[in-house]
Amino acid sequence: MIFPPHCKCIGYAGNKPVGDRVYFLSEYLIHEVPDGFEILAVKPADGDGLMRDIESVTQIAGPDDVYMYPEPVVLHNRGDLIKKALQTNKRCTIFTGIEEHMIFICDPDPASLLTVHVYDVTPPRPHLAGTVQTLDEAGIFGELEITFQYHVRDIRETQADVYPCKAGGFSRTIDSDRLTGDEHVAGCMTARQVLKDCYGHDFPLIDICPANAVTEEPFIARCCRAERSGVQTLNGKKGVVVHWGASPKQIADALYACIHEWRNG
């Protein structure tokens, strides 16, 4: 797969206002030809000026193998661009950014994308899964070249008698109702502790903690216990846990730390 690291090393050649010269940072050219576009690898000659003669040029793909993606994209969302390129059925796909810069992918490789597993629960809104999706669409994780698989458990399917809190829209909850003692409660370590403190004994508990549900790696999971936060191994799987109310920046930082540890640790 050829996927230049940045648009600054790609030039666009529609005409030749200064002859056969290229910008000194250019490594590739998107060259406009009568039948469409070709992708060229170029090597600028040594020198001191910004515009250089071309020492060598090699065609990577001709117009029959090149597709110009029709809609503007977020160029920094590299994982998304790889997925889009895989769908075009062409060897090379050229993308234009919202700011009119351009980049291309040649021979996209799905194996280059690392799948991160996201563990969360609903209702109410799955905060972690929703935030990761929003950040991903904005290109925050673009340079990591990752994709996400979401494991969002609907805790209503537990058919418990009592649920954690009113925020989920449940009729009976730990925070609003007096319990008799034999109810099946959907909860976690914190719920168990609250019930023990309030009633002096344990209740039948259905564990709904996302962090305890981890079965794949690398992962990111949500937990209401701050002391469980951080990069770690759970159930034999490596990943990162973030606090229940983590901010978008905290979630992004946690994912970057996790992937750095995964690839370099």
- Residue spans of the domains in the chain: they are 7-108, 113-265
Q: Which of 139, 146, 129 is nearest to 79 (CA)?
A: 146
- Note whether 22 and 56 are within 8 A (CB): no
Q: Would you place residue 158 in the very low, low, confident or very high pLDDT band (cuts 50, 70, 90)?
A: very high
Between 40 and 76, the higher pLDDT residue: 40
83 pLDDT exceeds 80? yes
Q: What is the pLDDT of residue 196?
A: 86
Question: Over the range 223-245, which residues count as b (16 or more CB within 10 Å of their CB) and which as e?
Answer: bbeeebbebeebeeebbbbbbee
Tens digits of per-residue pLDDT, 110-136? 899 999 999 999 999 999 999 999 999
Q: What percentage of the chain has pLDDT greater than the value 90?
A: 71
Q: Which of 122, 126, 183 is nearest to 154 (CA)?
A: 122
Q: Would you place residue 44 in the very low, low, confident or very high pLDDT band (cuts 50, 70, 90)?
A: very high
Tell me which DSSP letter residue 187 carries.
E
Q: Would you place residue 204 in the very low, low, confident or very high pLDDT band (cuts 50, 70, 90)?
A: confident
Q: Is 122 helix (H, G, I), strand (E, B) or coil?
A: strand
265 pLDDT exceeds 80? no
Tens digits of per-residue pLDDT, 174-189? 888 898 888 899 999 9
Q: What is the pLDDT of residue 202?
A: 83
Q: What is the pLDDT of residue 138?
A: 87
Mean pLDDT across the stretch 7-22?
A: 85
Q: Which helix (H) or strand (E) holds 196?
A: helix 189-199
Alpha carbons 225 and 248: distance in angstroms, whole number = 18
Q: Would you place residue 234 in the very low, low, confident or very high pLDDT band (cuts 50, 70, 90)?
A: very high
Strand ranges (E), the chain: 10-13, 21-23, 28-33, 36-44, 51-61, 66-68, 92-96, 102-106, 114-122, 146-154, 185-187, 205-207, 219-223, 230-234, 237-243
Alpha carbons 197 and 15: distance in angstroms, whole number = 77
pTM for the model: 0.84
